[in-house]
Homo-oligomer: A and B are copies of this chain.
């Protein structure tokens, strides 16, 4: 196995994962939340407190478009912005209680689909999958920066 073969395998894997992800999430009816808004909410949830610039950089959305989507999410009371004390240009963005509730519900729905996907997995399989995910996180995504 050389790096070229690994690349081929990685591409195929990625394509499959994208399809699976879409299958898992397609039944989640999130009351007028678009795919992009969902991605933003998901990012905020895992990162806890972020700025608009961080969202823009990490999700590869231009800052004006990020700002627009954040405004919509704020109007829907799913996120809230608070001023950064140290740098008053910045805004710290967090999920509101409503936002967290919505994401929790969405995750519950996705988790149900997910558990069907791995229903055949034994305890040993679960450990193996977890270990595999950890390996990829560590060895591939380690320096994912910029």
B133 x A13 contact (CB < 8 A): yes
Nearest CB on B from A42, distance (A):
6
Which residue of B17, B59, B134 contacts A14 across the interface (Cβ within 8 Å)? B17
Among A63-71, A79-87, A89-97, A111-119, the stretch in contact with B: A111-119
Main secondary structure of the interface of A (DSSP, over half): helix
Given contacts A42-B15, A118-B3, A139-B118, contact A10 B144 (CB under 8 A): no
Bound Cα distance A128, B139 (Å): 9
Nearest CB on B from A15, distance (A):
6
Nearest CB on B from A43, distance (A):
7
A20 x B141 contact (CB < 8 A): yes
Interface size on A, residues (CB 8 A): 59
14 A-B interface contacts by CB (under 8 A): A1-B126, A4-B111, A7-B115, A9-B133, A10-B114, A11-B42, A19-B59, A19-B60, A20-B140, A20-B144, A22-B60, A117-B140, A129-B139, A132-B132
**Extra pairs beyond A9-B134, A23-B60 (6, CB < 8 Å):** A6-B126, A7-B114, A15-B42, A18-B39, A120-B142, A128-B135
